[in-house]
Every structure is written in C-alpha cells, then in structure tokens.
Amino acid sequence: MLFIGRMLTMAMAILGGIFFSQAPEFSQQYRQRIGGALDELRAVITRFDSEATRNGLDREGALGLYSGSPQPFLRSQGDSMRSSFRRYETLEQQSREIADASPLAKPFVILRNPDPDIITSAWSDFSPGIPVTTAGLAWAGIGVVAGWLAAALFGTASLRATRSRRRSGSAEQESGHNRRRKVLRNEKIPEHPPEGGYDEEPQRVLPAPPPPGKHFPLQHYKDRQRTI
C-alpha cells in the first residue's frame, strides 16, 4: 500500500511538471492572438474615426449621435463601438505588460486579467512545446512541487477519511455491545417458575420393605424392581 501511494505521488508530480512547463508556451501563443485581435480592432476603429472625420465629427461626437438616435439598432451599434474601444485599450495595455514582464512572470500577467475570447481560442488551438528555456524549466519545477503537494494533501485526506470510518464502525460496534449488555443486566430472572411453567416428573412411590422375619411373594420383588 505504501509503495502504491509513493507511485501515485510520483505520477502526480510528473504530470504537474509536464502541465506547468507549458505555461510559457501558452503565454507566447496568447500574446500572438492578442496581436491578431489588436490588428482587427485597429482596422475597425480607424475606419470609424475616418468616417466621423469626413462628416466633420470627432469620435465622441459620432458616438453621441448613435446614443441619441431613436432607432434601437443605431443605439446598439454605438454600444458595440464603445465596447470595441474599451477592448482595444485593455488588450493594448495587456500586450505591453506581457512584453515588459520577465519570461517567468508572463503567465501571471495573463491570468490577472485574461480576455475570455482570446484565452478560449488559444486553449482550443494550443500546441504544446518542449520546455527548453529557463522559464519552461522553472515552471516545470513549480509543477512538480504543486503535483507532489496535491498528491500529499489528497493522500492525507483519504487516510483521515479511512480512519474516521474505522473509528465510526468501532464505535457503533462497541455501542451495540453496550446496549446488549445493558439489556442483559436489566432483564429480570424470575425467582420461582410460573404456575405450569415447568413439567414436574411424578414422584415414584416405592413399596414398603417387609417386616423383620417375613418375606413377600416373588411378585412383590418384581414390582419393586420395575418401580425402581
């Protein structure tokens, strides 16, 4: 059992190292997708600003026309453009933070404020890489420690649960014994049997012996022997 536990702990540590070692590679692919999303948003924003300028409006003025329109479709378009502007600013800032961060800290920058669409697409199309960089090896070490700790915590929790079940079973068994002892102690044994409770063997009456100097017939002795 101890050998199996050690093997499971080692397997968890190895799996944790393999999984965590891909963090730098995933960060790189995430950043590449940020670049693609920024290019698309930049094209949309540039086209919007150009149309506003051609009609003698700035960005806020054009957005105001959308918001003040009685048409729900135009108001929805204005809200969509505002969302695009905000997302562009957020992704641009995150891209700068990832570029400025050290290779070991890049995954933390992404996890702090990930873009839902980009992280979903990056994970679905993720291609694992061999961790040959210092950051990859460092993250592999972090994964080994995390996997080992997870296995140790899981093993400790399982051991405690098993011991708790054993104590519970022993307590229930002891409680059952105590209940049976209590019933036996409280049970009263009658001092006298109830009337008609026991079958009494009828008392045998032996013939009286003959007086001194006299003899009974032979049949008398035979009857005495049968009685005995």
The identity of residue 20, as a single letter, is F
Q: Say how far apart CA 53 and CA 98 lie, in whole Å.
A: 33
Q: Say how far apart CA 198 and CA 20 lie, in whole Å.
A: 84
Between the two ends of the chain, the Cα-to-Cα distance in Å is 73
Q: What is the pLDDT of residues 110-158, one digit of tens each?
A: 999 899 999 999 989 888 876 667 776 777 777 777 777 777 777 666 6
Q: What is the pLDDT along the chain (228 residues), one digit of tens a residue?
A: 556 667 777 777 777 777 778 888 889 899 999 999 999 999 999 999 999 999 999 999 999 999 988 999 999 999 999 999 999 999 999 999 999 998 888 999 999 989 999 999 998 988 887 666 777 677 777 777 777 777 777 766 665 666 666 666 665 666 655 666 665 565 555 555 555 554 555 555 555 565 665 555 555 555 555 555
Q: Concatenate the DSSP letters of all residues of 28-70 into one string.
A: HHHHHHHHHHHHHHHHHHHHHHHHHHHTT--HHHHHHHHHH-S
Give CA separation, 2 vs 9, 14, 48, in Å: 11, 19, 67
Instruction: Give the burial class of 56: count Cβ atoms within 10 A of its Cβ; 0-12 exposed, 13-18 middle, 19 or more buried.
Output: exposed
Q: What is the DSSP letter of 82?
A: H
Q: Which of 39, 59, 41 is nearest to 50 (CA)?
A: 59
Q: Which of 44, 38, 100 is nearest to 77 (CA)?
A: 44
Q: How many CB atoms lie within 10 A of CB 114?
A: 14
Which pairs count as long-range contacts for 54-61, CB under 8 Å and 24+ apart, including other chains? Answer: 59/85
Q: Where are the domains of the chain?
A: 18-126, 139-182
For residue 200, which phi and psi values (nearest 5 degrees)? Answer: -90, 135
Query: What pTM did the predictor assign?
Result: 0.57
Residues 6+ apart with CB under 8 A from 48: 59, 62, 81
